[in-house]
Amino acid sequence: MHHDQASRRAFLRQLGAFTGLGAAAPLALNLAAMSSASAQAATDYKAVVCLFMFGGNDAYNMFLPTDSTSFANYTAVRDQAPDSIALLAPGTAPVPTAPVASPARLGGVLPIVPATARTAPGGGTQTFGLHPSLGALQTLFNSQKRLAVLANVGPLKQPTTKAQYATTGYPLPASLFSHNDQQNTWQAFAPEGATKGWGGRMADLLLSQNTRASFTAVSVAGNAVWLSGDTVRQYQMSTSGAVRMGADSGGRLFGSTTVASALERVVRNARSNHRFETDMADIHARSIDAEVALRTTLKAASDPLFGTAPVSGSYNPNNDPKLQYDNPLTGGKSSNSLAQQFQMVARMIEASSSSALGMKRQVFFVSIGGFDSHDGQNRNQADNMAKIAQALKYFDDTLGGLNLRSNVTTFTASDFGRTFTSNGDGTDHGWGSHHLIMGGAVKGGDVYGQVPVLAARNANSNNFDGSPDQISNGVMLPSTSVDQYGATLGRWMGLSDTELLSIFPNLANFSQRNLGFMA
Amino acid sequence: MVAQGYAAWLDAQLAKPASLSYVSYWDARNAALGGTTANPKAGQREVLDAFWTQAVAGEDQVRARVAYALSQIFVVSMLDSGVGNNARGMASYADMLGAKGLGRYRDLLESVALHPVMGTYLTSLHNMKENTRTGRVPDENFAREVMQLFSIGLVQLNADGSVKTSGGSPVPTYTPSDISGLAKVFTGWSYACPVSDDSCFFNGISRDSERDIDAMIKPMRAYPQFHSSSVKSFLGATVPDQGSNADPAASLKVALDTLAGHPNVGPFLARQMIQRMVTSNPSPAYVGRVASAFAAGNGDLKALVRAVLLDTEARSATGLTDASFGKLREPVLRLSAFLRAFGATSDSGGWLVGNTDGNTDSLSQTPFRAPSVFNFYRPGYVPPGGQLGLAGLVAPEMQITHESSVVGYVNYMATALQSGLGMSGYDNKASRRDVQPDFLRDTTHALRTLAATDADVPALVDQVATRLLPAPMPAALKDIIVPAVLSIAVPVANGKNQDQIESAKLNRVRTAVMLTLASPEYTVQK
């Protein structure tokens, strides 16, 4: 089956999808809106990149209010023996002799100044800081204004207060606090087993603008349900690019081109109707066809657009200084696999947006793991934040070199945020969290959504009655839904209200469907 | 085996002792490198070498296979540096799965809960009791995952593994409050030391700077001074207030008895063990029969395994033609089956296959190196977009199968057929790679002899099929492989071209094997 022919069929299928809408859809099909969405933006290129932080990033230490009331509560709750995870006030100088990655060693949080003023709990303008390892992001926020923060976002079925959360039977997402289910919920609005993600669904509706379907949804990080749509299927690449199956550069296997051809016939065709065999053959066919298309169109990693050509020998991304970060645990440089993923994304964007591949709308998925900081949070998070900052800066720089900053928007996601309370050196599973959006089309330098109130702990329990936003253990109750987050990105990609309502199952329950962080 | 009957063969297998002790193997390799337990020179790769030694050469195939399946449920991973830097501990954990994997579930659960490598991986080691004054809470990681992944799962199950519903929705097995209560049980457990004082609790070294060199293999020790003594409530059970006599062992007994006694355990384990060993989508009746055998033996894992492997659904010939039956063979098992089918040997005796994580040049999977405690793939994974997804079938192994990893498997096996696998000896200076299949190392091998003559090529392909496929090769596949093999010409002998003749024969064998190994007829197990 030739997947590059799917664009026209996809257009017809999306027509069919509208007639099959479920109860959440408006009764009147806005066919004009749908056709204009397909016809509009025929010349510009746009891509959305999802950076998924697996394990549940501790958002409380990534972005935090630094006004005196909030910060005092933050410190009191998080400064626990044996290993305080309370970061220090802005302006605190790092202590070079303090334990590696400890708050004292890192120094104070990095001040960011949002364009929109908020009132601090104690009066005056509320101030904010980023984790000390996010220096590059501080610049992207404050000076370059290509980074925004979205506060306290998470899966919700409808707006939810603390009282409602505590009410039996109130509609809530299933399996909160479970890693695999929340990863799926963020990506596909359903627990483990879901098969359609909102990135893929967005791509379904934009597919007709692409000359080939097969590179519409690309993962550089393994299988991700976020990328699967009704028609669109993800294409997975490794950081080494597309690799040829079963043949050398001369097309030979065991010295024979005939044998190599036979291998291709064996793997890309099922000879029965067995479902497992059929699906396996499908994946092999896609792999082979994609590699052929990319063989001549994908520029090398060592191209100055993306990397540094080696002085001698072959290119090794682990040795490319553009892809290394300052490792706070070792004090030296380390290779950054996240930057390597962004390099692959950049190479694909360059090839895809060129006339050779003629793509107009793409969705990408990259990821980094190791965020489940039940223990050793200081070390874990310092390292993870450093990797993220370097990788995002690398990607922003690279897009600048391609003159595509305004065409590509990167956003973060994670299983959940974490508890406000500490278990002695780490945190447990939470719910709402803060996330970052980066790009030339982002209205950066500002904080969107509602910043949660950081209250003092109750005297006799781990509840936080002083905050409308913090449930047991100070877990953030989201004030913005993933639906709203995704819809804001989808709108930028060119989707209409009707289309957005068809993709985001809970969006109809929220009055603000555009969070405003895109220009 | 045909003479004995399958059940008798299985029982003989189940009775075999472990053929290898991972710790003994690792200690021997460590000593050969000049290392000691306190200052080791061996590391992760020696654990992997032990795995392959047992998997390919071990007599106790079923025990090893069960232990490997259990390693994907009671997951610890050397990808985590806390585990990877304690490879001897990982070896011990593997031995524990082998030793307890065919016994009572309650014993396995306790051994898992108290193993210091699990304590490291899921952060229960040196977990401290709550401090109500400052607001510190116990670490909930192990409490959560022991319920979600190692015992009862997320939702209430019927005896046949189907999900119980109430008002149309699944019924959760536990709440956040159960997790908080259970988390208190897993406080006050840590390393063993000659003197288990406070310093040892935190660092594994006592105040007098003494360690126990077996601290990463001995069960975690109870430290009452760090154990929560307040009332602990979870899953309807209660550990009463222990006052000033905190009693970690007593708390643990209540917790593990409660978990092991939960009716979910049988169906939860049964379905996953069927998925690991037979088919991804067992019928509820099959799950029910296995769960029932488990319960009849009072949580007997041996009975569970017998039921999994001997069930009519596993053995019936209809499985061979049912379009939904079976599973995608995971990459590690594709390799182990190949190595056994082709009489592979190890020049060094160490089975130096090594790390096979690589996506585009290797198997995308290495034993004991899962990406997280959620294993390489989820039991409930539905691959989007294909026939399986349309039919709503789960296919866990598809979660690591994509356009890159399929290339990695094919290219890795092609290289293996070209020149063998693994390092070239312990010092990487041997003349060839360590692991060699029979036809590669044996120039007079029967397969090469068949390859010499065009008329024998169909028989060559049949022989390869017999070794790798459960049923005769479909004609449609044979019709591709035979001509491909024949396309390699074997020159007529002229007294000076014996090398070219041997090379051509060998390439014919390689072609027959490679095309079979790459085929969905092989990679999908029915």
Whether the predicted pLDDT of A37 surpasses 60: no
Q: Are B191 and B221 in contact (CB under 8 A)?
A: yes
Instruction: Give B222's strand partners.
Output: B189
- Residue A29 reports pLDDT greater than 70: no
Is residue A410 a contact partner of residue A395, using CB atoms and an 8 Å limit? yes
Q: Does an H or E element contain B346, and which?
A: strand B345-346
C-beta atoms of A243 and B407 within 8 A: yes
Pairwise CB contact (< 8 Å): A228 & B476: no
Mutate to test the interface with B, among A180, A184, A276, A429 (most CBs of B within 10 A): A276
Note the ipTM here.
Answer: 0.96
Q: What is the pTM for the complete model shown?
A: 0.93
Instruction: Write the DSSP symbol of residue A66.
Output: -
**How high does pLDDT run on average in chain A?**
92
Q: How high is the pLDDT of residue A444?
A: 98
Residue A213 has pLDDT above 90, yes or no: no
Q: Which residue of A has its CA nearest to B147?
A: A178
Chain A residues touching B361 at Cβ < 8 A:
243
pLDDT of residue B2: 53
pLDDT for A39 beyond 60: no
Determine the pLDDT at residue B76. Answer: 98
Do A323 and A317 touch, CB atoms closer than 8 A? yes
Q: What is the residue-wise DSSP string for A76-134?
A: HHH--SSS---PPPTTPPP-TTSPTTSHHHH-SPEEE--SS--B-TTSSB--EEE-TT-
**Which chain A residues have a beta carbon less than 8 Å from that of B391?**
275
Residues 6+ apart with CB under 8 A from A255: B488, B507
Does A283 contact chain B (CB < 8 Å)? Answer: yes
Q: CA B321 to CA A272: how far, in whole Å?
A: 9
Residue of chain A with shortest Cα separation from B174: A175
Cis peptide before A26 (omega within 30 of 0): no
Indicate yes or no: CB of B404 within 8 angstroms of CB of A270.
no
Q: Which residues of chain B have pLDDT under 50?
A: 1, 3
Q: Measured between CA atoms, how close is A377 to chain B, in angstroms? A: 12
pLDDT digits (tens, 9 = 90+) for A273-290: 999 999 999 999 999 999
| Contact between B137 and A369 using a beta-carbon 8 Å cutoff | no
Euclidean distance between CA atoms B203 and A201, whole angstroms: 50
User: Within 13 Å and on the Cβ side, how many CA atoms surround B327?
Assistant: 25
Confidence of residue A35 (pLDDT cuts 50, 70, 90): very low
Predicted pLDDT of residue B321: 86
**Residue-wise pLDDT tens digits, A59-80:** 999 999 999 999 999 999 999 9
Is residue B190 within 8 angstroms of chain A, CB to CB?
no
The answer to whether residue B163 neighbours chain A at the CB level (below 8 Å) is: no
Task: Tell which A residues from 362 to 381 touch B, by Cβ distance under 8 Å.
Answer: 369, 372, 374-375
* Averaged pLDDT for residues A237-249: 94
Q: Is the pLDDT of residue A455 over 70?
A: yes
Mutation for testing the A interface, residue in B404, B500, B514 having most A CBs under 10 Å: B404
Q: Which residues of A touch B404 (CB under 8 A)?
A: 236-238, 243, 287
Q: What pLDDT is stored for residue A16 in this prediction?
A: 39
Reference A319, options A300, A329, A333; nearest CA is A333
Given a contact cutoff of 8 angstroms between Cβ atoms, the answer to whether A381 and A370 are in contact is no
In A, residues 428-467, which contact B (CB 8 Å cutoff)? 428-429, 457, 460, 462
Would you state the pLDDT for residue B196?
85
- What is the per-residue pLDDT across A77-130, written as a single tens digit (0 to 9) for each? 999 999 999 999 999 999 999 999 999 999 999 999 999 999 999 999 999 999
- Residues of B with CB below 8 A from A244's CB? 407
Classify residue B298 as left (phi > 0), alpha (psi -120 to 50) or beta. left
CB of B1 within 8 A of CB of B9? yes
User: What is B359-413 written as a DSSP string?
Assistant: TTTS-S--TT--SSTT-SS-TT---TTSHHHHTT---GGGGG-STTHHHHHHHHH
Percent of chain A at pLDDT > 70 equals 92
Q: CB contact, 8 Å: A286 with chain B?
A: yes
Cβ of B137 within 8 Å of Cβ of A428? The answer is yes
Q: Does A266 touch chain B (CB under 8 A)?
A: yes
pLDDT for B500 equals 97
Amino acid at A471: I
Residue A27: pLDDT above 80? no
Stretch 231-260 of chain A: residues touching chain B, C-beta under 8 Å: 233-238, 240, 242-246, 253-256, 258-259
Alpha-carbon span A45 to B239, nearest angstrom: 62
B468 in contact with A, Cβ within 8 Å: no
- Does the structure show a pLDDT above 50 at A42? no
Which residues in chain A are closer than 8 Å to B402, comparing Cβ atoms?
219, 222-223, 234, 236, 283
pLDDT tens digit sequence for B7-32:
999 999 999 998 899 999 999 999 99
Indicate yes or no: CB of A276 within 8 angstroms of CB of B170: no
Say if residue A491's pLDDT is above 50.
yes
DSSP A437: E
pLDDT digits (tens, 9 = 90+) for B164-175: 999 889 999 999
